Amino acid sequence: MDLKTLKTFQAIVRHGSFHQAAEALSYAQSTVTMQIQRLEGDLGVTLFERGKKVQLTEAGRLFHAQSLDIVNRMEQMQRNLLEMQSGEAGKIRVGVTEPLASYRLPPLLKAFMQDHAQVEVSLEIASTTVLAEGLRQGELDFALCSAPEAGGELYFHPLFKEKFVMLLPGEHPLAEAQAIRLTDLEGHRLLITAETCPYRKKLERILQDNGPLAMETMEIGSMTALKHYVAAGFGMALVPVTTLEPLPPGTIAKEIVGTSIDMLMGLLSRTQPLPPAAAKLYENLRQALERI
């Protein structure tokens, strides 16, 4: 039993004739007759009372009533599969780090989902290390994050550099400086992110390269929360420029000179092809974020 045969059966019922059904479907009448004979053989019942006028048997009436729903479901399934194959439907699992998750992704994702209403997107917000492992385990389709540690099973496509500045309370001793060097941090409290955060790891490497500095640190687990703790006077922090619109009241942003602390961001995925819907979103984000 297949969809074509069910549609042929329904056409015969609708037109009341094998001949008219064949004309409507552009089939030879012998094809229609053969389809119904095969269908009756599969079901083990007679569906039509043959005569001058084709009429349904009792079994035929029961089968016809139930076949309508079957055909509708099969046609809907075909449409769903075609939409999925074309990337117009499906489920996408995206990993993303902060501050991308809160500041850059929402408007881009909203525009994509408005144009692809049948696509479902779920987000996992975590560190690059966690997202990379999620990709390896097949739990994510792709991720927006910083460059991970070397690993041949993943591919990183660089997009842009996230620019960082030093954010200070307005009354901080360094607030009057034109710009800040890393050596200026000595003797002051620096707010830092969690130990697994790629931003913190890069900062620690840079600080080591500039020699030992005597300073106090305070760990704040969230990149997006840093600016609020600076505004409350806990200390200064290196924060992405994108998170400072608007600048928190009572704070001042200063350029860092003498070293580059900007973070390279991009798309991380496995080396095999993405599902169609995920591939569409991947390409959409790639084009949008490469223009930054």
8 A C-beta contact, residue 218 and residue 236: no
Identity of residue 35 = Q
According to the model, what pLDDT value does residue 160 have? Answer: 95
75-113 burial, b at 16+ Cβ within 10 Å, e below that, comes to: eeeeeeeebbeebbbbebbbbbbbbbbebbbeebbeebe
Strand 89-96 and strand 142-146: pairing? parallel
Spatial CB neighbours of 237, under 8 Å, sequence gap ≥ 6: 166, 167, 190, 191, 192, 220, 226, 227, 229, 230
Distances from the Cα of 44 to the Cα of 2, 5, 31, 60, 125, angstroms:
16, 15, 20, 11, 57
For the chain, how far is it from start to end, CA to CA, in angstroms? 55
Beta bridge partners of 158: 266
**pLDDT computed for residue 124 by the predictor:** 97
Helix (H) or strand (E) holding 162, with range, is strand 154-162
Has this prediction a pTM greater than 0.95?
no
Q: Which helix (H) or strand (E) holds 263?
A: strand 263-270
DSSP assigned state of 180: B
Residue 231 CB neighbour total at 10 angstroms: 16
Write out the chain's pLDDT in tens, 292 residues: 788 999 999 999 999 889 999 999 999 999 999 999 999 999 999 999 877 678 899 999 999 999 999 988 888 888 777 767 776 778 999 999 998 999 999 999 999 999 998 899 999 999 899 999 999 999 999 999 998 876 668 999 999 999 999 999 999 999 998 889 888 888 999 999 988 888 888 888 888 776 677 788 999 988 889 999 999 999 999 999 999 988 999 999 999 888 878 899 999 999 889 999 999 999 999 999 998 8
Domains of the chain by start residue, with CATH? 3-85 (1.10.10.10), 88-161+264-290 (3.40.190.10), 164-261 (3.40.190.10)
The pLDDT assigned to 166 comes to 93
Written as one letter, the residue type at 248 is P
